[in-house]
Amino acid sequence: MYYGLVFLVLFALTIGEIKAFPKNLKESRVPRVRVKRRFTEKNAMDYLRDFDYLPRWMEIGYGAPDGNKSKVKVTEAIKLQTFGYFQQRAALPQTGQLDAETMTEMSRSRCGNPDPRDPSKTLNALGRTVAKWDRSEVTYSILNSTDDLPRATIKKAIGDAFQLWSNVIPLNFREVDENGDIKFSFKVRSHGDGNPFDGRGNVLAHASHPAKEPLSAYTHFDDDEWWTNKDGEEIEKGNTDFFHTAIHEIGHNLGLDHLNEKKSIMHEITKPDNLVDRYGRYIEPRLHHADIEAVQKIYGNRTRATVTVTGTLNPENGTKTVTCPTRVDAVFADAGITFIFMGNETFEINAKRKILKKIPIPSLFPDGPKVNFTVVLDHITKKLLVFEHGGDIHAYYYSRLFHGYRKAYTISSPFWRPLSGAFSLNSGATFLLDTDRQVAVYSVLIGSSSPFMPVHSNFPTNVRGSIRATDDDSKHFLFTPTRVYLYNGKQEVVEKEWALDEWLSCK
């Protein structure tokens, strides 16, 4: 009887332990903070070989070009040159030495794909033939998921990441259950592709370039990482943002290598500072102009509808075909002309909503940003303000002498938060919108803004800018990336809405 009671007690305790055991091992790793590893010169040399700064056969022998597995001593001169090139890519002082700043940069989390050796190459810095998809629709499959995120979150993040790239190139992407052109999966350690993961920290994911049938391209995410999605608080704790990582790896799936521009999506290292503002809020990633230029060199621009413009634009036949914009990145109006920005181009539109011409942005804004900015015409100073995302504020004025905009000055931006758009009223108020549906009044004269406050619930989401619809400033056309709204500011209601191509009479 005694032993029976003891057995029952022990059995109950055992069941309790089993129930208390975490559903997966990640739940038992507390706290969720990334642990910094001690970095040595050996780690640095391994890093330089792993990411193609040094040939892998140096001092190791395997893969030597003479076929004899010969070893070549990594001399101090080679170290000086190699560390110097890494420091150049990382925008560090080029000492050629493994100093503290260099070790810190090498210990950051990054993509597992190699870095370019030759920055002079334009299309493909690794010197290989550029791979690209030879069809207009590319399919993808999500083979598994991680315990860190719901599968629905993973599906949406990957779909949204594809959409960012699809906005700027003539490729469409569609998810299929299996056998997609690109396959996404979570892996750990050695997983059969000859490129093992290293556990939590350092390498987050890696991806292949476009493949020819019957092969598929792939993206592998390291499941030893702590994955989060668009959560500033978790990112500040050291966890990895899935959305940003997916955008980057899809860039490789499209044929891109790492870019030597630290603010670009395709730079190999992502700093948490680029994803979280000083308030701890998530900063929605956007393609940098370097990302857009690189992918458009492979696939060209995305165009959709065309319109025929008649008049005096072409002296030979009086007509000119101009593509319609398929989205709005920024917009403003001046002297009866509306300027819509898409990618690195500007569309000039008259009062009848007809496209007059299309010009490169640098032709309109000399010495200014090429893409990724918010623009607004300040009616008090008559200055055109260009807010570079994550950068400076450029002020332009219209010059009758040069028949165009000339830069007046550039100042550092006082904003830590990402801007979605801006608009200005004839009364003189210039409003800035952030990505969290908050608005502030900006003063050009003092170079700062009021506190950001929530906008009215009827105000459309993701507004890029506006132009006046009535002379009394009571109504405006509000532009989101793909739609236009007639907004009554006095009644705070949307009176009408159009698809962008409908508003432009492009259909």
Quick: pLDDT tens for 255-265: 999 998 888 99
pLDDT value at 19 more than 50 = no
Q: What is the dihedral of CA 48, 53, 59, 64, to 10 degrees?
A: 140
Catalytic-labelled residue, pool 105, 249, 268, 293: 249
DSSP 101-129: HHHHHHTS-B-SSPPPS-TT-SS-TTSSP
Bridge pairing between strands 205-207 and 217-222 = antiparallel
Q: Which residue positions form the known binding site? A: 111, 148, 181, 191, 193, 198-199, 206, 220, 222-223, 225, 248, 252, 258, 266, 329
DSSP 417-436: SPEEEEEE-TTS-EEEEETT
pLDDT at 37: 53
pLDDT at 374: 85
Distance CA 166, CA 171 (A): 6
Backbone phi and psi for residue 419, each to the nearest 5 degrees, phi listed first = -95, 140
Both tokens assigned to 54: 């040094």
pLDDT value at 68 more than 90 = no
Please provide the average confidence, as pLDDT, over all residues in the chain.
78
SS3 251: helix
pLDDT value at 245 more than 90 = yes
Write the pLDDT tens digit of every residue in 460-485: 888 998 888 877 778 899 999 989 99
Q: Is 303 left (phi over 0), alpha (psi -120 to 50) or beta?
A: beta
Residue, of 16 and 408, whose pLDDT is higher: 408
Q: What is the dihedral of CA 145, 148, 152, 154, to 10 degrees?
A: -60
pLDDT value at 139 more than 70 = yes
Go through the domains of the chain in sequence order and give each one's CATH number: 41-106 (no CATH), 137-299 (3.40.390.10), 306-503 (2.110.10.10)
Q: Which residue positions form the known binding site for Ca(2+)? A: 148, 181, 198-199, 222-223, 225, 329
What's 27's DSSP letter? G
Q: Which residue has the tokens 């030879």?
A: 134
Write the pLDDT tens digit of every residue in 410-453: 877 666 667 888 887 656 678 888 877 888 888 877 777 788 88
Write the pLDDT tens digit of every residue in 290-344: 899 999 999 998 764 333 333 233 333 334 455 788 889 999 888 778 999 988 8
What mean pLDDT comes out for the span 158-170?
92
Q: Detail the DSSP E strand segments found in 296-424.
A: 306-310, 319-323, 330-334, 337-342, 345-349, 355-360, 373-377, 384-388, 392-399, 404-412, 419-424
Both tokens assigned to 327: 């989205």
Q: How far is CA 440 from CA 146, 421, 437, in A?
A: 39, 11, 10
pLDDT value at 98 more than 80 = yes
Highest mean pLDDT (candidates 34-43, 113-122, 153-162, 266-275): 153-162
Both tokens assigned to 37: 């590893």
pLDDT value at 109 more than 80 = yes
- CA nearest 344: which of 291, 421, 415, 391? 291
Instruction: Count Cα neighbours of 93 within 13 Å in the Cβ-side half-sphere.
Output: 6
Told to judge if 261 belongs to the known catalytic residues of this protein, a careful annotator would answer no
Sign of CA dihedral 356, 357, 361, 367: negative
Residue, of 393 and 68, whose pLDDT is higher: 393
